[in-house]
Amino acid sequence: MFFLDSSNPAEIREMFSWGVLAGVTTNPLILSRDAGCVDLERRIREVIAASSGPVSVELTSETEAAMLAEARAYHAWEPERICVKVPFSDVGLKVTHALAARGVRTNVTCVMSFNQAYLAALAGGAYVSIFSGRIRDMGYAATPVIERTRARLERERLRAEIIVGSIRHLMDVNEALDAGAHVVTVPPDILRKMLHNPKTEETIREFNAAWEKRAK
């Protein structure tokens, strides 16, 4: 399953029309680079209108009380669609647990290890976001983290699903899926690259040329 890692409504609408996407993820970095985002609520509502499935919106507060207040505000925008993205920390686990008890869906993000992923799932996160590219930046592969997390979720019948993000290359997508990710959230440029194969395009041209020649 794929989510789109974007906050651009036009891009989201176009790519959802392909029928291959099931949700959207955003984060403060993506939104800070989005020239069209002058008001967060308005932008997220535009993203919701352009898509289907869960839309993740990340908390930026740092204290438990402020994070819970921010989460309640985001959730109220569209309770059936908003997934509150909670940065991993001890406070983040408290917030995740409290929100889960209230029926608010959460996506625990910035997860870099199996231990963090397991704790996030135990706290009640609906999704656990493992960052493939950033794990590689530390000098090791994300694949074992994903595999161990998936095995543990299944062994203990925990309800959390694994989202793999920080996707930088096509190989990251393949490795994440093979390792057991429930969802890979892909940037628009990676999704476009997944479309193209020179042999596919060559074959289509050959078939069309043959038909046109016959029709003359």
Q: Has 94 been annotated as catalytic?
A: no
Point out the catalytic residue in the list 85, 199, 213, 216: 85
Partnered with residue 128 across adjacent β-strands are 108, 162
Entry field: residues in the chain: 216
CB neighbour list of residue 82: distance below 8 Å, 6 or more residues apart: 44, 48, 54, 55, 57, 74, 75, 105
| Integer angstrom CA distances of residue 123 from 27, 54, 76, 83, 110 | 21, 20, 22, 15, 15
Q: Provide the annotated active-site residues.
A: 85
